[in-house]
Amino acid sequence: MNDEQSPIKKEQEQMHHARRNFLKQSAFLSALAIAPPALVKAAEKNMDEQAAAFFEQKALKLEVNGKPYQLSVEPRVTLLDLLREQLHLTGTKKGCDFGQCGACTVHVDGQRVLSCMSLAVMQDGKKVTTIEGLAKGDKLHPMQQAFITHDGFQCGYCTPGQIMSAVACVREGHAGSANEIREYMSGNICRCGAYPNIVKAIMEVKEKGGNI
Amino acid sequence: MENFFYNDDDRVTGPEVVTGKATFAAEHQVPGVTYGVLVGSNIANGSISALDTKAAERAPGVLAVISHLNAPPVPGYEPPKEPEKLPAGGKGLQVFSGPEIYFNGQPIVLVIADTFERATYAASLVKAQYQTNKPQTDFTEAGKSVEAVPGARYKDNIRGDAAAYKTAPVTLEAEYIVPVEVHNPMELHAIIARWDADDKVTVYDKTQGVKSTQRSIVSAFKLKEENVQVFAPFVGGGFGSALRTWPHEIAALLGAKKIGRPVKLVLTRNQMFLMVGYRPYTLQKIGLGATTDGKLVGISHQADSITSMYEEFTEGSVNVSKIMYACPNVFTRYHIYPFNVSTPTWMRGPGEATGTFALESALDELSYKLNMDPVELRLLNYAETDPETGKPYSSKFLKEAFELGVEAFGWKQRNPVVGSMKEGQLQVGYGMATGVFGAYRGVAKAVARIYADGSLVVQSAVSDSGPGTATAMVQVAASVMNMPKDKISFELGDASMPPGPTQGGSATTSTLGSAVFAVCTSLQEKMAALAVKNAVFYANELDEIKPSDFIFEDGFIVLASDKSKKISYTELLKQNKVNQLEATEESRPDGKMKDYVAYSYSVHFVKVLVNPATGMVTVDKVVIAGDAGKIISPKTAESQMIGGAVGGIGMALMEEGIIDNRYGRWVNNNFADYHVPVHADVPPIQAIFVNKPDPLLNPIGAKGMGEIALIGFAAAVANAVYHATGKRVRDLPITPDKLI
Amino acid sequence: MINFDYVRAASQKAVTDLLGKDPTAKIIAGGTNLVDLMKRGVEAPEKLIDITRLPLGKIEQVDNLVHIGALVPNSELAAHPLIAEKFPLLVQALHAGASPQLRNMATVGGNMMQRTRCTYFYDTVLPCNKRKPGSGCAAIGGHNRMHAIFGASQNCIAVHPSDMCVALAALEAKVMVSGNKGERKILFKDFHRLPGDTPAQDNNLQRGELITGISIPLAERFSKHATYLKVRDRHSYAFALVSVAAALQLDGNKIQDARIAMGGVAHKPWRLYAAEDFLKGKSATTQNFKEAAALAMKDAKAYEGNHFKLTLAPNSIVQALQTITRNI
């Protein structure tokens, strides 16, 4: 939490290149003996950039929808892009990529968070639930069913984020009234304007109670 | 044909959407896909003098850096025929075709890399130098230092006496501003482009029209239609922004061609403001004249709007004044002015939403001058025939909509005195306004196949960006075929299907529904032709049974004269040993409408609460009554009306695109600074339909709905705010600072 | 975004050591602002130090102080029974900020460290002294509807965007900081700073220092009559045009003490000392509230786009005070 200014500066870029060049030149010599197959392969093909990048990846253990993953990611990869582009779990949506719309909402260790503002590498050891992990087999989660019943979406793009947020809203105890739901769902933007129907869906799930 | 429609019309896309399985443009798994990122210009006017792409090219994972210096040619990019004239709408920006810069953020470079992160980083390394001219983005200069685009289409339109309104006993003149508003569908515009051969391409695209996108690519790259495949099974909203093919789509195709691998290109939210259209800023001057008892004598409506430096854009902003009210004297003028901005495009309720804000606000102002209820004033000037042509309406149930709305909203509880209603410390305002939009029917083709297992599949090459087209078409098919809707699927989003309309202008249900009606009817004829030979219908050999003797009931072909004689669709196919029956039909407008005009109408009633200390406005209650003809799919129709109201809350209270004129650069092109409504801004919204079929427009009786849901809404809010506070806000949006 | 190095800090000392060694390193916790800034190229640290596994997540009462660890998420803080009981003003302010998802991620320390939301700060193409010292302030003469009316300088008119901090200013919290030279406490009013000639610096934290937590003195006399009013362009999930954190100690209708701070009006949470002093000993009447608000506005200065704040700010002060005295 320091406040040092560091806009992109030439010096930094040069430093960055210097570090990369060092990795490129030294990587093969020092690392081949202990290198995993991917690196050896890269080295054989003289794909030095790929080799350099290998060293800049971090190991990451993650449980997504109950399934364990052992991954290696660049630190700059967000949880959202990891899910969508590497794990092909495209149910989690990119709507703004800047924490301003809620389309990317997932649960991490049971809490609703924005995956676009979460670095994947920081989630090491955590449990992630996405929209794909909400239904039990073919049986829809009550919130999913309620969204269909109350027509809580039109185009459907913000919907996974709305549903993940809605489930959390009820679990947190923030679905006590229509007004409370509106406030606690305000982090999820729907441009089609399905809001009133979403509120109805959440009210129904809340009123039915049970373990959601 | 007796139409019936299921009321339990859950969206057919529901299960896929709520489980995250619905596949949007950027989500198709394409082997070997690469990532493209666009670099925008930093200036608004001038040209690129030098481009340094070395660092980007050297960056890890980068496969290509494409600009005007090295882009493959686009054969369809032709030089303008009259270089001194602003090109007509539809030409678009010719991406990477030269160093010229017309607007800030104009795509100048495409970086392609093996991952999204690497492409994004490399794009940040591109450095451009410019020869810079002073940008012109100050829209208040329209008609001053910026001259109007000349042309025959901008000539004045006069009915009766243009100046009549000025001589009326009661007159009103006022200026209204609708700022730039941006569609901002939640799905970022995205495309995956893959060349399957030198002359063959597949794209997964965000588009409101798979066929129109196909045509654009065919024309840009001079390809055969059958060699351009376009898929859009799910489209995450559009509101007009995906009605045309934009530079980023051509850029992705160029990139994929250059590297010989598929390219995925997703715009950033910031870029969504810059290159996929917006509702243009429009300044409107309204003049109204009326008799002391409220009859309109004259209307004058002038609009000055904006376009880009490289293309004309026009919309029907002033048309509402020609058609809404019975008024003998109407003057309209519409001009556009070129600025250093990208080209606007139709945004929900195009033109009419802009024009109606002015006209319906002015009507409200007039009602106070006349000391007359705003609903009464509108009924007094109700047009029984089309004011412009004198033709009758194919149907018009606006009066019924007024009645339904007044009743449901409790309009009569409104105390007409401004500022007289209170709830605690809050000022209460009731406002209303009307919306109108043409009801259209275009050309569409569909194919229907019924299988021996009893299932029916109907297909047409259309997109659905949210209204629920597949849901509505299943309703039409179920109604015509008289069979359970769970046996029916409607498939879309594939350009190789029979051509359907682009989803826009509130015409999809009318146009496509007519084709589905036709193709299902045709399929029934084929089934009837098979059935006439079937023994089940014959008591003795002398009977003569014609196809017209049948009716279709609940999945059975039934002999009308003896309902005990029937055969199920499934059994019919089985007995005839056919696996499937297929019909293809094209539907186009027939001659019935020649002497008629058709419009859809909405009436918006809004209650607002205004905090006089902070200026914050709460929309507390909304009723919209609509005349949209026969309602095909009640649940999705209601949702669409609610969605229009939510869009209207945004337009009325918060949406405004802002450019810093010193740099010609957007300053609020993101969702934190450009506000759209959130849950907390939206009360329960009641949507009501007259639900009477239009007898002439098409065989299913539907008019249109997407536009009227929004058109007029902002005026209703502004009128309610005036009623609450006595403050007439004529420049949208009505933010707190304008009310304190 | 450059592909920075990522280090997970095992101890506070490791954090301060790393910060000392690497001038481009930055701390990350919730990431709700830093990741945003890195995506836009406003920040480009070579190294990120992840402190989220450090044991700084406690909320506890020790004597007359409530200690809140720097890593307590905003949502957890707002939901904590001790905070709800002792500092309803803080709970209201927390709920007024961001969205539930962001509040689950954002930490107390990070909330204090968030940068301004001035649009020019985020656009690396345009001048901004805060982002690039010496480049100029594009907000002056530009679009400055959201900007400061108090304490701005010719170099910067940005505002601090936090809601939580406005309440903490009114509650006179202290910031606990740990660095190479040991630990120190900073009064909340001295934590954030005015832009002056060095707008790049948002606060008085030294290079290499880490916020470990805050402590708030118990002040039950203020807890009954307190409110946080936030005026914004929509009803939720928007930054403040202005906000008011107000707390009164009342004896019947008589104001014994007052704490008022504003957000959205200055480069830091803005305490209204003159208004507070004026109200002490006065009756809780609208007239007195108006006079206090007028005093608060004495040094206000508006720019092209934010003249309305000269009316909105005093209106909001009066409204907040009326709200907390409505039922006395």
The confidence score (pLDDT) of residue A24 equals 43
Instruction: Please check the confidence at residue A30 and state whether its pLDDT lies above 50.
Output: no
B552 falls in which pLDDT band (50, 70, 90)?
very high
The token pair that represents B696 in the structure block: 């002439």
Find the mean pLDDT for residues B609-619. 98
Task: Tell whether the model's pLDDT for residue A3 goes beyond 90.
Answer: no
CB contact under 8 A, B737 and C316: no
Which residue of C15, C99, C121, C130 to mutate against A (max A Cβ within 10 Å)?
C99
Mean pLDDT of A131-150: 97
Active-site hit among B249, B311, B656, B707: B707
What's C282's DSSP letter?
A: S
B152 close to A (CB below 8 A): no
- Give the residue on C whose Cα is nearest the Cα of B737: C308
Q: What is the pLDDT of residues A62-75, one digit of tens each?
A: 999 999 999 999 99
Distance CA A155, CA B236 (A): 5
Rounded Cα distance, B674 and B666, in Å: 11
- Are A92 and B116 inside 8 Å of each other by CB? no
Q: Is B707 a catalytic residue?
A: yes
Pick left, alpha or beta for residue A209 (phi over 0 → left; psi -120 to 50 → alpha; otherwise beta).
Answer: left
**Which residues, 6+ apart, have CB-to-CB distance to B714 below 8 Å?**
B178, B353, B357, B648, B651, B652, B732
CB contact under 8 A, A192 and B685: no
Closest CB to A151: pick one of B235, B635, B644: B635
**pLDDT exceeding 70 applies to what percent of chain B?**
99
Residue B283: CA count within 13 A, CB half-sphere? 12
- Cβ-Cβ contacts under 8 Å between B and C: the total is 88
CB atoms inside a 10 Å sphere around CB C102? 25
pLDDT tens, position by position, C131-153? 999 999 999 999 999 999 999 99
Mean pLDDT of A178-197: 98
d(CA B538, CA B730): 73
State yes or no: ipTM above 0.90: yes
In C, minimum Cα distance to A112 occurs at: C101
> Of all residues in chain C, what percent carry a pLDDT higher than 90?
97
Q: Does the pLDDT at position B141 exceed 80?
A: yes
pLDDT in tens, C15-54: 999 998 998 899 999 999 999 999 999 999 999 999 999 9
Given a cut of 50, whether residue A10 has pLDDT beyond it is no
Q: Which amino acid is at A26?
A: S
Angle between helices B634-653 and B713-725 (to 10 degrees): 50
Of the partner residues B235, B677, B682, the one whose CB lies closest to the CB of residue A155: B235
Say if residue A20's pLDDT is above 80. no
Q: How confident is the model at residue B548 (pLDDT cuts 50, 70, 90)?
A: very high
Looking at CA atoms only, how far is residue C141 from chain A in angstroms?
Answer: 24
Grade residue B598 by pLDDT with cuts at 50, 70 and 90.
very high
- Going by pLDDT thresholds of 50, 70 and 90, the confidence category of residue B542 is confident
Answer whether residue A142 shows pLDDT above 60.
yes
CA distance readout (Å), B496 to B209, B446, C173: 12, 11, 66
φ/ψ bin of B473: left (φ > 0), alpha (ψ from -120 to 50), beta (otherwise):
alpha
Provide the shortest C-alpha distance from residue C322 to chain A (in Å): 23
In chain A, residues with a C-beta closer than 8 Å to the C-beta of C6 are 58, 75, 119, 121
Spatial distance between the Cα atoms of B333 and B316, rounded to a whole number of angstroms? 11
pLDDT in tens, A72-113: 999 999 999 999 999 999 999 999 999 999 999 999 999 999
Predicted local confidence at residue B80, as pLDDT: 83
Sign of CA dihedral B362, B367, B368, B374: negative
Q: Which of B615, B663, B679 sits opposite C312 (nearest CB)?
A: B615
Pick from B470, B484, B160: which is nearest to B331 by CA? Answer: B160
What pLDDT is attached to residue A52? 57
pLDDT value at A31 more than 80: no
Q: What is the rounded average pLDDT of the residues B455-480? A: 97
Which pLDDT value is given to residue B450? 98
Output the pLDDT for position C327. Answer: 84
Is residue A161 over pLDDT 70?
yes
- A8 and C45 within 8 Å at the Cβ level: the answer is no
Q: Say whether pLDDT at B7 is over 80.
A: no
pLDDT higher than 60, residue A27: no
- What's the confidence (pLDDT) of residue A51? 52
Q: Which residues contact B599 (CB under 8 A, 6 or more apart)?
A: B323, B393, B396, B436, B437, B438, B439, B703
pLDDT of residue A25: 43
Candidates C19, C24, C35, partner chain A, best to mutate (most A CBs within 10 A)? C35
Reported as a single tens digit per residue, the pLDDT across C268-301 is 999 999 999 999 999 999 999 999 999 999 999 9
Distance from CA of B445 to the nearest CA of A (A): 24
Using CA atoms, how far residue B25 sits from A80, A210, B193, B267, B645, in Å, is: 16, 37, 10, 12, 27
Q: Would you call A48 an interface residue with chain B, using a CB distance cutoff of 8 Å?
A: no
Share of chain A above pLDDT 90, in %: 72
Q: Residue B602 pLDDT > 90, yes or no?
A: yes
Opening angle at CA B271, ends B269 and B273, nearest 5: 85
pLDDT digits (tens, 9 = 90+) for B685-702: 999 999 999 999 999 999
Q: Verify whether the Cβ–Cβ distance A169 to C100 is below 8 Å.
A: yes
Task: Mark yes or no for CB contact C1/A113 under 8 Å.
Answer: no
* Residues C74, C94 contacting (CB under 8 angstroms): yes
* Cα nearest neighbour of B105 on chain C: C125
Residue B321 structure tokens: 């004044």
- Chain A neighbors of C38, CB-CB under 8 A: 76
Question: What pLDDT does residue C82 have?
Answer: 97
Q: Does A18 touch chain B (CB under 8 A)?
A: no
Q: Which chains border A (3 or more CB–CB pairs < 8 Å)?
A: B, C
Q: Is the pLDDT of residue A11 over 80?
A: no
User: In Å, how far is A13's CA from the nearest CA of chain B?
Assistant: 10
Q: Is the pLDDT confidence value at A122 over 70? A: yes
Decide: B379 and B326 in contact? Cβ < 8 Å: no
A118-130 mean pLDDT: 98
Is the minimum CB–CB distance between A165 and chain B shorter than 8 Å?
A: no
- What is the band of A55 on the pLDDT scale with cuts at 50, 70, 90? low
A3 with C46: Cβ contact below 8 A? no
Q: What is the pLDDT of residue A38?
A: 47
Instruction: Output the pLDDT for position B540.
Output: 77
Residue C209: is its pLDDT beyond 60?
Answer: yes
Look at residue C156 and tell me whether its pLDDT is greater than 70: yes
Query: Cα A147 vs. chain centroid, distance in angstroms?
Result: 22
Chains in contact with B, where contact requires at least 3 CB pairs less than 8 Å apart: A, C
Q: Using an 8 Å CB-CB cutoff, list chain B residues near C122.
A: 670
Phi-psi region of C237 (alpha: psi -120 to 50; beta: other; left: phi over 0): left
Q: What does pLDDT average to over chain B?
A: 97
pLDDT tens digits, one per residue of B326-384: 999 999 999 999 999 999 999 999 999 999 999 999 999 999 999 999 999 999 999 99
Distance, in Å, from the CA atom of B629 to the CA atom of B393, rounded to the nearest integer, reads 12
Q: What is the mean pLDDT of residues B437-442?
A: 97
Confidence of residue A54 (pLDDT cuts 50, 70, 90): low
